Amino acid sequence: MRIHHLNCGTMAFGVIDHCLLIETRTELVLVDTGFGLDAVRRPGKMIGPSRFGMRPKLAEHETAIRRIQALGYDPRDVRHIILTHLDLDHSGGLSDFPEATVHVHGPEFRAATATPTLSERMRYRAAQWAHGPKWMVNELEGGEDWFGFRAVRDLPGLPPEILVIPLAGHTRGHAGVAIDHGNGWLLHAGDAYFVESSIQAENPHTPFLWQVYQSGAIVGDAYKDNQRRLRELNRQHGHEVTIINSHDAAAFARVAVR
């Protein structure tokens, strides 16, 4: 499989939206969507008050659909979207791919669509899925081991080389996406951490700004535990698994040129 790294949104402090486009033998798979065309055209409705804190630099050329077209692909060939979570800066482009099956981890789907808490109402925007996506909800039952993590395998319609790795904390159903690309694994850890230094094998550290941001995790203990586990994964299996996240621009620049 071939993997393309896409920046599908730029925000304050140089933060980006690192999405993936995966070419399988027969179709395209998108991991997260960034903001999307509707967010660019109707930010008040699609992003809401949160846009003032995030300060997104909304630009049509940065949307996933335009990035995919710039690569020479037909967006209609995106048959599947896998979401790390349903935060507004990760699912805003769903309506640009109305025919795609949208894979989301069960606890996340329920958190966003049932009765979210006050803090969750700020991060989830139901307008982003008002068009009625083709949801495919995955659960952990029967999960298998993946480098010490539980993994959701056999996602309907997707090749076995693509797995969902539950990484609760940032949100109740946050998950990573692991891809076996033939020369090792790539793990997109979403918002399980925000800067690469947080999970580096030696002397990990998180700058104060990001410590403050991480304090907003919905399940704080799980967030800290999964970040510790990611550091251990990096330490023990960094030669087999490349770990990336959603918002570290420097890390994106490094992997995007490979």
CATH number at residue 93: 3.60.15.10
Number of independent structural domains in the chain: 1
Mean pLDDT of 80-105: 98
Decide: 84 and 176 in contact? Cβ < 8 Å.
Answer: yes
Decide: 190 and 170 in contact? Cβ < 8 Å.
Answer: yes
Does 143 score more than 90 pLDDT?
no
**Distance between CA atoms of 148 and 120, rounded to whole angstroms?**
29
pLDDT at 51 (0 to 100): 78
Q: Domain range spanning residue 112? A: 2-256
**Distance between CA atoms of 81 and 65, rounded to whole angstroms?**
12
3-class DSSP state of 2: strand
Mean pLDDT of 14-24: 96
pLDDT, tens digit, 9 for 90 and up, residues 144-154: 899 999 999 99
Tokens 């992997």 -> residue: 255
**Distance between CA atoms of 211 and 206, rounded to whole angstroms?**
6
Query: What is the token pair recorded at 65?
Result: 């659909």
**Distance between CA atoms of 38 and 47, rounded to whole angstroms?**
9
Percent of the chain with pLDDT over 90: 85
**Distance between CA atoms of 152 and 132, rounded to whole angstroms?**
24
Residue 123 main-chain phi, psi, to 5 deg: -100, -25
Mean pLDDT of 153-171: 96
Read off the pLDDT band of 116 (50, 70, 90). Answer: low
Amino acid type, 38:
D
Decide: 227 and 235 in contact? Cβ < 8 Å.
Answer: no
The total of other beta-carbon atoms located within 10 Å of residue 13's CB is 11
pTM, two decimals, is 0.96
Does 240 score more than 90 pLDDT?
yes
Of 78, 87, 62, 83, whose CA–CA distance to 135 is shortest? 83
Helix ranges (H only) for 29-87 are 37-41, 43-46, 50-54, 64-70
Please, is 3 exposed, middle or buried when counting C-beta atoms within 10 Å of its C-beta (0-12, 13-18, 19+)? middle
Read off the pLDDT band of 167 (50, 70, 90). Answer: very high
First to last CA, the chain: 14
Higher-scoring residue by pLDDT: 60, 141: 60
pLDDT at 121 (0 to 100): 80
pLDDT, tens digit, 9 for 90 and up, residues 174-225: 999 999 999 999 999 999 999 999 999 889 999 998 999 898 899 999 999 9
**Angstrom distances, CA of residue 13 to CA of 9, 64, 86, 235:** 13, 21, 22, 28
Does 258 score more than 70 pLDDT?
no
pLDDT, tens digit, 9 for 90 and up, residues 95-114: 999 999 999 999 999 999 98
